[in-house]
């Protein structure tokens, strides 16, 4: 079992809800605060800066774009936002009302691709703000997280359809059902083994899928752990959050699982990223980012 050091850094009050975190092209950590409608920045030396959006917009997932800016979804305001390193914000309304955008990730075509949970669509937005939407076969599939992966495609979880989906740059969609019923996939990552790795929040498991659709599932020791997000850690393993168990976990590419308790109680870890300093960082909804350094 790999040993780790974990350092929590308070970045907000407990009611702000740090949710997702990513590394920016400026060498800083950027994170969303879903309950207070803010975007936060944590730079070297623990310098903290916050940017206020519409308080009730519900910023969720954030990702770096090809244009040097950060892009994020506003789940409650049904918009996609863009923020520069200087804090200038632009927001883009979506064609479909009440679409519930959630996951967002840069694509191989230089655009950002995002999920529309309540509309059952995958969206594409260029860095100039042009939006295209692609309807999924099932309107109630609840597409959640999304990532660029094998075959030059975007890959995403279908939380209510219990499947993994892919979409190419022409909008062609393919779906792969999961072996475990009602597994509830959420987070997804592109592994260093040319496979997709994802979490099954309702089944308490981690899944691996090849680009051809071959799926392997690894059960966690605690079936009630509720894994939420996952990222390739660069250390020969993937790291994930256990929202229901106050832990982060590590799984090697051959399926060996380790788990680590986070400080405090019920910290509600959600997003996780590989930071610019080479450590793992997770956003804890109770008001902190935790720095996780494998030893």
Which positions are catalytic? 270
| Known binding residues | 228, 268, 285
- List the Cα angle 255/258/262 in 5-degree steps: 145
| Known binding residues for Mg(2+) | 268, 285
| Known binding residues for substrate | 228
């Amino acid at each position: 079992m790999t040993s780790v050091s974990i350092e929590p850094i308070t970045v907000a009050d407990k009611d702000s809800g740090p949710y997702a975190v990513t590394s920016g092209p400026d060498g800083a950590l950027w994170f969303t605060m879903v309950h207070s409608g803010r975007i936060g920045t944590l730079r070297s030396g623990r310098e903290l800066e916050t940017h206020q959006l519409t308080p009730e917009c519900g910023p969720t997932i954030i990702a770096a774009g090809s244009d040097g800016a950060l892009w994020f979804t506003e789940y409650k305001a049904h918009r996609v936002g863009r923020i520069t390193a200087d804090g200038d914000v632009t927001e883009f309304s979506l064609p479909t009302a009440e679409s519930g955008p959630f996951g967002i990730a840069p694509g191989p075509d230089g655009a950002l691709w995002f999920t529309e949970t309540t509309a059952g669509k995958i969206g594409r937005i260029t860095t100039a703000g042009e939006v295209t939407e692609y309807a999924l076969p099932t309107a109630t599939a609840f597409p959640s997280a999304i990532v660029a992966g094998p075959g030059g495609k975007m890959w995403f979880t279908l939380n209510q359809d219990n499947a993994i989906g892919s979409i190419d740059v022409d909008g062609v969609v393919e779906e792969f059902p999961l072996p475990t019923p009602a597994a509830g996939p959420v987070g997804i990552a592109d592994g260093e083994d040319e496979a997709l790795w994802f979490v099954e929040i309702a089944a308490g498991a981690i899944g691996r899928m090849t680009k051809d659709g071959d799926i392997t599932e690894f059960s966690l020791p605690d079936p009630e752990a509720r894994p939420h997000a996952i990222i390739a850690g660069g250390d020969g393993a993937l790291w994930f959050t256990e929202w229901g168990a106050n832990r982060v976990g590590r799984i090697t590419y051959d399926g060996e699982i380790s788990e680590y308790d986070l400080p405090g109680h019920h910290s509600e870890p959600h997003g996780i990223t590989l930071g610019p300093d080479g450590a793992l960082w997770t956003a804890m909804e109770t008001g902190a980012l935790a720095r996780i350094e494998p030893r």
